[in-house]
């Protein structure tokens, strides 16, 4: 793609995403859905004037890691820790129940192959932290206890998801169970999540120490983006999603993250305020690109709209996708059933994580066109409907 063609493509993405996001917000619809629809509109599903390419994928990846950095920096670490046990329960059940029901339905009811059934069940275990967090931020509820349970569960879900993907991919390609590879990835991911916030906090101390001594403008955004990119790279290096690295960096910079016996590493609130004011415009530019790319990745043209058996499969798996994630939230104690309901709804969106599973299965020739199209529809429904439900149920503030 020539540079001038890319400039036009990026112009269309930013303008259409902004216009539809604003339009949806004025209609009382979560703005993230406007950005998702911008991708569907511009992509092969409708107009076909924008195609996903490597440059757009990189910009979209920058968008999601910046969003997760923002989530991390605004996260109350103590409340995140206090929600830990509940988050673990929600995450484990949110992976186990969809996987079991997805595999059982695929293999025994629809009589699909073992490999296909594994990829379907793996896709159903995914949770899109990006979609859910964006909706919670749009309705100003990202600091509630419920949001912290959801954030913790979604992060754990991502960790389990990447380990599960490694396991399923290895088995599907070699038809052998590679426990050594899976265990090594698991160990590296857990080690990274333990050490990353400590290292990030130390670097934040150095940033704060030399803050004010620079002569060239742009010190804060340059250093912070460099820090985010470094930790995203390190996260990928150990086999974890890049977003976990940026989230860890954000948590470490938070006012409420303190290391044991490390008071000397505490950074001031003035630095944090400057980080937020400098980074917010950059984050607001890049994050819509990510959600547009999710929409661009959806190809409605692969769907056979005239096949009754296809729609039976679609409806079945949409039901499983919703219920299997939803019920996990009712295994933890909350002050009201309403709160459990909101947590359950928040765990439903599959979004980009589900697309990664489905795309890997398609590229490696494991998923047939019908199964791939079915998963695309399931991902669309689980991505589009929950934001509406969240907005409705969060009209009354929850704690």
Cα–Cα distances in Å, from 198 out to 193, 212, 253, 349? Answer: 9, 24, 10, 31
> Confidence class of residue 108 from pLDDT cuts 50, 70 and 90?
very high
C-alpha distances out from residue 90 to 6, 22, 149, 198, 228, Å = 42, 33, 8, 26, 28
b (16+ CB within 10 A) / e for 10-27: eebbbebbbebbeebeee
181-212 tens-digit pLDDT? 667 777 777 777 777 777 777 777 777 777 66
Distance of CA 80 to the CA centre of its chain: 17
Angstrom CA distances, 234 to 7, 189, 243, stand at 30, 10, 11
Q: What is the DSSP string of 70-123?
A: HHHHT--HHHHHHTHHHHHHHHHHHHHHHHHHHHHIIIIIS---HHHHHHHHHH
8-state DSSP, 67: H
Check if the beta carbon of residue 344 is closer than 8 Å to that of residue 330. Answer: yes
Q: Is the pLDDT confidence value at 234 over 50?
A: yes
Supply the DSSP symbol for 49.
Answer: -
* Mean pLDDT score, 159-166: 74
Domain ranges of the chain: 52-393
Contact 31, 138 (CB under 8 A): yes
In the predicted model, what is the mean pLDDT of the chain? 80
What tens digit of pLDDT does each residue of 292-332 get? 987 887 777 777 777 788 889 999 999 999 999 999 889 88
For residue 170, pLDDT over 80 is answered with no
d(CA 150, CA 129): 8
Under the banding of pLDDT at 50, 70 and 90, the label for residue 260 is very low
DSSP 8-state assignment for residue 266: P
pTM above 0.75, yes or no: no
Cα gap 76→70, rounded to integer Å: 12
Token pair listed for 363: 């590229």
Q: What is the 3-state secondary structure (H, E, C) of 311-357?
A: HHHHHHHHHHHHHHHHHHHHHCCCCCHHHHHHHHHHCCCCHHHHHHH
Under the banding of pLDDT at 50, 70 and 90, the label for residue 100 is very high
Most confident of 40-44, 270-274, 303-307, 354-358: 40-44
Q: Work out the number of other CB atoms within 10 angstroms of the CB of residue 31.
A: 23
DSSP track, 273-313: HHHHHHHHHHHHHHHHHHHHHHHHT--GGG--TT-HHHHHH
- Characterise 80 by phi-psi region: left (phi > 0), alpha (psi -120 to 50), beta (else): alpha
- What integer is the mean pLDDT of 21-40? 84
Q: Which residue has the higher pLDDT, 246 or 357?
A: 246
Q: Model confidence at 79, in pLDDT bands (50, 70, 90)? A: low
262, pLDDT greater than 50:
no
Q: Are 379 and 298 in contact (CB under 8 A)?
A: yes
What would the CATH number be for the domain defined by 52-393? 1.20.1530.20
pLDDT exceeds cutoff 70 at 280: yes
């Amino acid at each position: 793609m020539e540079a001038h063609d890319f400039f036009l493509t990026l112009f269309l993405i930013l303008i259409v995403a902004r216009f539809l996001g604003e339009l949806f917000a004025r209609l009382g619809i979560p703005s993230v859905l406007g950005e998702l629809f911008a991708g569907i509109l511009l992509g092969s599903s409708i107009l076909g004037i924008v195609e996903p390419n490597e440059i757009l994928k990189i910009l979209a990846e920058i968008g999601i890691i910046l969003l997760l950095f923002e989530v991390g920096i605004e996260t109350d670490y103590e409340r995140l820790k206090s929600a830990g046990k509940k988050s673990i329960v929600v995450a484990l059940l949110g992976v186990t129940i969809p996987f079991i029901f997805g595999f059982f339905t695929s293999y025994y009811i629809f009589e699909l192959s073992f490999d296909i059934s594994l990829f379907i069940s793996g896709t159903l275990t995914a949770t899109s932290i990006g979609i859910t967090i964006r909706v919670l931020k749009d309705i100003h509820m990202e600091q509630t206890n419920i949001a912290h349970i959801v954030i913790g569960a979604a992060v754990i879900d991502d960790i389990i998801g990447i380990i599960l993907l490694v396991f399923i991919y290895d088995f599907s390609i070699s038809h052998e169970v590679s426990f050594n590879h899976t265990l090594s990835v698991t160990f590296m991911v857990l080690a990274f999540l333990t050490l990353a916030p400590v290292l990030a906090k130390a670097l934040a101390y150095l940033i704060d120490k030399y803050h004010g001594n620079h002569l060239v403008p742009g010190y804060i955004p340059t250093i912070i983006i460099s820090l985010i990119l470094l930790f995203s790279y390190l996260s990928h290096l150990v086999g974890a999603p890049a977003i976990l690295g940026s989230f860890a960096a954000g948590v470490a910079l938070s006012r409420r993250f303190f290391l044991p016996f490390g008071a000397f590493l505490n950074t001031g609130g003035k630095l944090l305020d400057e980080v937020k004011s400098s980074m917010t415009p950059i984050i607001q530019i890049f994050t819509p690109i990510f959600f547009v790319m999710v929409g661009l990745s959806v190809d409605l043209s692969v769907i056979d709209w005239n096949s009754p058996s296809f729609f039976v499969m679609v409806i079945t798996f949409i039901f499983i996708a919703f219920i299997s994630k939803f019920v996990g939230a009712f295994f933890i104690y909350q002050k009201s059933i309403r709160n459990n309901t909101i947590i359950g709804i928040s765990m439903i969106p599959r979004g980009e994580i589900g697309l990664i599973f489905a795309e890997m299965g398609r590229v490696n020739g494991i998923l047939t066109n019908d199964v791939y199209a079915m998963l695309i529809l399931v991902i669309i429904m689980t991505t589009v409907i929950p934001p509406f439900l969240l907005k409705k149920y969060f009209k009354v503030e929850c704690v």
